[in-house]
Amino acid sequence: MNDKQIDLLNLDTHELTGLVQSWNEPVYRVKQLQQWLYHELVDDFDAMSNLPHPLRARLKAATTIGDLKLIATQDSADALTRKALFQMRDGQTVETVLMRYLDAPGSPEDSTDPPNVARRTVCISTQVGCPVGCPFCETGQAGYIRNLTLGEVVAQVLYFAREQKRAGFEMPLTNIVIMGMGEPFMKFNVTWRAIQAFTDPARLGMGARRVTVSTSGYVDGIRQLIEKKSQVNLAVSLHAADDALRDQLVPVNRKYPLRELMNACREYVHATHRRITFEYALMDNVNDSAQQAEQVAQLLAGVLCHVNLIPLNPTSESPYRRSPYARVLEFQRVLNRHNIPTTLRVEKGIEIMAGCGQLRQQVKRHSANVNALPLAT
Ligand code: SAH
Ligand code: SF4
């Protein structure tokens, strides 16, 4: 890749049409190209057999299919979760996770080919680092570098879609969660364009309800999402039900305090009739008491929602620890007593999933626990 090459994944349909027309090619080439890129999932222009050779040569010279280079991977002990670290054109790195869930209990070794995997969810990043700076989050602690481009966001999905297609799945991915590194609503426009790439039938064509976007509480973005009348799922990282504590744990709370956040959430439910998922990472003696569970119940009373309780995945440099399991269960009982539905994230992949950004830090620290591939030159 060189600086002058255009990343095709960075173009929406309108922009791709502009490129094709500027090359004096018929407009039906747009459909053909999108078919190869997003349905056939090819990453090689030579495979685009219905395009004339001169056009393929021009595409090869002037464009790229994504701009990510794989530099490290890491698998969970049960082999169902896989993290990938990619390097971008400017040398920055970004992390993506594939989480696979079995239909029935059993190890992947016993399973058929393709294995008995019911859900294949890819968790993607939107920024290098994150300016929100939550103190329990590896990404937040690493500092903020930049937003990703549309092409860099879409390429993360296509990488794992290709991998799962090779593994034999007709529908390579079942879900996309925008929950990796970064705050997706800081640059709403890029996130929205990515959601369109995932749901547009001419591109990935996934049902909007299979896509989830998680925000730390960017009220602006929640309102913009309402305006789009989209059916994507919204997750909000709550982690505390009082402003003083949330100012510490999720510093964007200083800009958008709980009252404003909850107003936006209520507007969202009113406008979309969709249930919101509130994420709550349980931290030992910080936000996990029964009294704090009561506060959460009060805050969420009357809001169509569901709470996802996540035992904290402790990061290397933060003082926060995971709550003891008994306290997690007690917290859950309090919410359930108030008729607030909850789930407890206990999947085995948690050790590499929660706190996206950890593989990036490990590679920086040259940890032995990752399959580092040679760095791009
Ligand atoms: N920036 C967005 C989306 C990415 S983070 C957001 O904050 O919502 C995805 C989820 O993982 C968030 O709920 C986040 O608070 C949580 N998280 C971050 N670090 C974690 C950790 N070390 N353990 C458990 N959950 C963590
Ligand atoms: Fe950013 Fe989300 Fe991490 Fe907070 S939890 S620092 S918002 S990525």
Mean pLDDT for 106-116 is: 49
Residue with tokens 């989050």: 137
Report pTM: 0.92
User: Is 137 found in the same domain as 57?
Assistant: no
Top-confidence residue, 27 or 4: 27
**How many domains does the chain contain in total?**
2
Mean pLDDT for 20-36 is: 98
User: Is 116 found in the same domain as 48?
Assistant: no
Measured from CB, residues less than 6 Å from any atom of ligand 1 are 130, 134, 136-137, 179, 182-183, 214-216, 237, 279, 281, 310, 312-313, 315, 354-355
User: Is 93 found in the same domain as 11?
Assistant: no
Whether 356 sits among the annotated catalytic residues: the reply is: yes
H or E stretch covering 84: strand 81-87
User: Is 27 found in the same domain as 118?
Assistant: no
Nearest-angstrom CA–CA distance, 192 and 189: 5
Q: What is the DSSP string of 191-259?
A: HHHHHHHHH-TTTT---GGGEEEEES--HHHHHHHHHHT---EEEEE---SSHHHHHHHSGGGGTS-HH
Ligand 1 atom closest to the CA of 182, numbered from 1: 1
At position 290, the amino acid (one-letter code) is A
**What pLDDT is stored for residue 144 in this prediction?**
96
Ligand showing the shortest atom-to-Cα distance for residue 185: 1
Output the CA 354–ligand 1 centroid distance in Å.
7
User: Is 317 found in the same domain as 264?
Assistant: yes
User: Is 85 found in the same domain as 27?
Assistant: no
Output the CA 336–ligand 2 centroid distance in Å.
27
374: in domain: no
Query: Of 109-113, 184-188, 204-208, which gets the smallest average pLDDT?
Result: 109-113
Residue 110, pLDDT > 90, answer no
Q: What is the pLDDT of residues 354-365, one digit of tens each?
A: 456 666 766 766
CATH of the domain at 10: 1.10.150.530
User: Is 197 found in the same domain as 74?
Assistant: yes
Given 130, 265, 305, 356, the catalytic residue:
356
Ligand showing the shortest atom-to-Cα distance for residue 312: 1
Output the CA 205–ligand 2 centroid distance in Å.
28
Whole-number average pLDDT of the chain: 90
User: Is 18 found in the same domain as 113?
Assistant: no
Sheet holding 175-178, edge to edge: 342-344, 305-311, 276-282, 233-237, 211-215, 175-178, 117-123, 93-102, 81-87, 69-75, 371-372
Nearest-angstrom CA–CA distance, 218 and 208: 21
231: in domain: yes
372: in domain: no
Q: What is the pLDDT of residues 273-305, one digit of tens each?
A: 999 999 999 999 999 999 999 999 999 999 999
User: Is 271 found in the same domain as 183?
Assistant: yes
Top-confidence residue, 367 or 102: 102
Residue 34, pLDDT > 50, answer yes
232: in domain: yes
Residue 305 sits at the vertex; the CA angle it makes with 303 and 306, to the nearest 5 degrees, is 145
Query: Of 40-44, 101-105, 117-121, 172-176, which gets the smallest average pLDDT?
Result: 101-105
Print the domain residue range for 271. Answer: 69-365
Nearest-angstrom CA–CA distance, 28 and 375: 39
User: Is 73 found in the same domain as 57?
Assistant: no
Whether 294 sits among the annotated catalytic residues: the reply is: no
End-to-end CA distance of the chain: 12
